[in-house]
């Protein structure tokens, strides 16, 4: 018969503890069912848009503003392509990339006189106008929680660019002639992201996302805010669909040598995505 001394008993207990910890470690390291190792989103945002563009000269004297939808006849609803990529490094950290772009052009006879960048476009004048806005972000994200609910924080950088222009018949000192004004600028700014994910099941989940971009000074200053709530469903293990409703506010000031142009745009509406996960 072998007798266990206190030292041997303590040693056996320690060995069992180490073995139990090693066996249970994978359970604690499991990724939450609310997250995917890698995820691709491809889809579009059907946005209800409200956009105003204005300008002022170097002295600060306001040169007028106008609405793209109300004054220039742009359609209020616009399909905006959007793509995202998320992937984890380990179980609680990873990268997130997001991109969308708006490309709008329209020609019409305006119903009221407008002023922009020193040009006066009379009522009934024929004008061609355009607005392009592109946004992309890359961030590093931390996720907290391992059950069906996780909360995330991300920091990174955002790139955005604005290109706007108007051309048509303008009057100056009683004379009518063809005139045009165009602005084009890009910028980088820090981005802060917040998120929440909930898994009803592995294949049916809910999420809330928000981010903010703010930059003071430079050629293109201002802020961009976004918030969205959505659902995703995977009828096939690696293939699913996602739907969300979002709101985006873009308010930017472009500082040039002789004038300052400003853009105030609101986007709200549903998005639909094809979802791939791995």
Per-residue model confidence as pLDDT tens digits over 67-96: 999 888 899 999 999 999 999 999 899 999
- Do residue 6 and residue 84 come from a single domain? no
The average pLDDT across 49-68 equals: 76
pLDDT above 90 for 101: yes
pLDDT tens for each residue of 21-38: 333 333 344 689 999 999
- Do residue 255 and residue 147 come from a single domain? yes
- Do residue 9 and residue 92 come from a single domain? no
Give the model's confidence band at 146: pLDDT under 50 very low, under 70 low, under 90 confident, else very high. Answer: confident
Residue 197 pLDDT: 97
Q: What percent of the chain has pLDDT over 70?
A: 83
What is the number of structural domains in the chain? 2
Please return the burial class of 140, using the count of CB atoms within 10 Å of its CB with bins 0-12, 13-18 and 19+: middle
- Do residue 22 and residue 106 come from a single domain? no
- Do residue 199 and residue 255 come from a single domain? yes
- pTM greater than the 0.75 cutoff: yes
Residue 91 to residues 87, 134, 142, 143, Cα–Cα distance (Å): 10, 32, 9, 8
Task: Return d(Cα 227, Cα 245) in angstroms, integer.
Answer: 9
User: Could you list the residue range(s) of the whole structural domain that residue 271 is in?
Assistant: 34-277
pLDDT above 50 for 15: no
- Do residue 47 and residue 183 come from a single domain? yes
Residues 6+ apart with CB under 8 A from 11: none
Task: Return d(Cα 174, Cα 169) in angstroms, integer.
Answer: 12
Residue 8 to residues 16, 19, 22, 116, 146, Cα–Cα distance (Å): 12, 16, 21, 88, 37
- Do residue 40 and residue 19 come from a single domain? no
The average pLDDT across 245-259 equals: 85
The average pLDDT across 40-61 equals: 84
- Do residue 93 and residue 211 come from a single domain? yes
- Do residue 22 and residue 136 come from a single domain? no
- Do residue 105 and residue 223 come from a single domain? yes
The answer to whether the beta carbons of residues 224 and 158 sit under 8 Å apart is: yes
- Do residue 170 and residue 258 come from a single domain? yes
- Do residue 198 and residue 178 come from a single domain? yes
The domain spanning residue 95 has which CATH number?
A: 2.40.128.90
């Amino acid at each position: 018969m072998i007798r266990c001394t206190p030292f041997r008993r303590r040693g056996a207990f320690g060995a069992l503890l180490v073995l139990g910890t090693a066996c249970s470690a994978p359970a604690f390291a499991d990724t939450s069912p609310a997250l995917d190792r890698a995820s691709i989103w491809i889809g579009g945002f059907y946005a209800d848009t409200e956009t105003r563009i204005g300008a002022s000269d170097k002295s600060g004297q306001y040169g007028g503003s106008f609405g793209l939808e109300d004054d220039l006849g742009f359609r209020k609803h616009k399909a905006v392509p959007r793509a995202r990529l998320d992937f984890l490094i380990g179980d609680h950290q990873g990268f997130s990339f997001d991109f969308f772009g708006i490309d709008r052009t329209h020609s019409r006879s305006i119903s009221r006189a407008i002023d922009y960048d020193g040009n006066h476009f009379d009522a009934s004048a024929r004008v061609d106008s355009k607005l392009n806005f592109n946004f992309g972000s890359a961030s590093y994200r931390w996720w907290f929680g391992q059950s069906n609910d996780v909360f995330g924080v991300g920091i990174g950088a955002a790139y955005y660019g604005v290109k706007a222009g108007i051309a048509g018949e303008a009057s100056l000192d009683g004379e009518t002639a063809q005139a045009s004004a165009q602005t084009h600028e890009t910028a980088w700014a820090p981005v802060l992201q917040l998120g929440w994910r909930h898994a009803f099941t592995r294949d049916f989940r809910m999420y809330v996302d928000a981010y903010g971009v703010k930059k003071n000074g430079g050629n293109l200053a201002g802020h961009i805010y976004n918030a969205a709530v959505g659902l995703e469903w995977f009828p096939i293990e690696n293939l699913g669909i996602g739907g969300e409703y979002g709101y985006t506010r873009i308010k930017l000031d472009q500082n040039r040598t002789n004038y300052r142009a400003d853009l105030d745009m609101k986007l709200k509406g549903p998005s639909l995505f094809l979802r791939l996960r791995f």
